[in-house]
Amino acid sequence: MPEIWKPQPREVYISWCQALQDEASEELSQWEFQFVESILGQLQYKNLSQKQAEILEKIYSEKTK
């Protein structure tokens, strides 16, 4: 049975973005860095789409320890 995707609270996404900026910015590609900045700005006004959240989670899991 496939895993059901469950969104995280906005605060979790914000903390992931901040951790990526603070701890892993040198490991991010230019596209990933810009994506994280864009997501952080978007979170001030609205929620992420499922696809955005999945991409952010993938980047976070790959780039942080």
- Residue-wise pLDDT for 9-34, tens only, equals 999 999 999 999 999 989 999 999 99
Q: Is the dihedral of CA 53, 43, 34, 22 positive or negative?
A: negative
Query: Is residue 4 domain-resident?
Result: no
pTM of the complete model: 0.89
Check pLDDT > 70 for residue 53. yes
Query: Is residue 55 domain-resident?
Result: yes
Look up tokens 């790959």; give the residue.
62
Query: Is residue 1 domain-resident?
Result: no
From CA 23, how far away is CA 39, in angstroms rounded?
Answer: 17
The H or E element containing residue 10 is: helix 10-23
Query: Is residue 2 domain-resident?
Result: no
Please give the residue that has the higher pLDDT: either 4 or 38: 38
Name the domain count of the chain.
Answer: 1
What pLDDT does residue 6 have? 83
Non-local (6+) Cβ contacts of 54 within 8 A are: 5
What's the pLDDT band for 4 if we cut at 50, 70, 90? confident
Check pLDDT > 70 for residue 1. no
- The residue segments making up the domain with residue 55 are 10-63
Query: Is residue 3 domain-resident?
Result: no
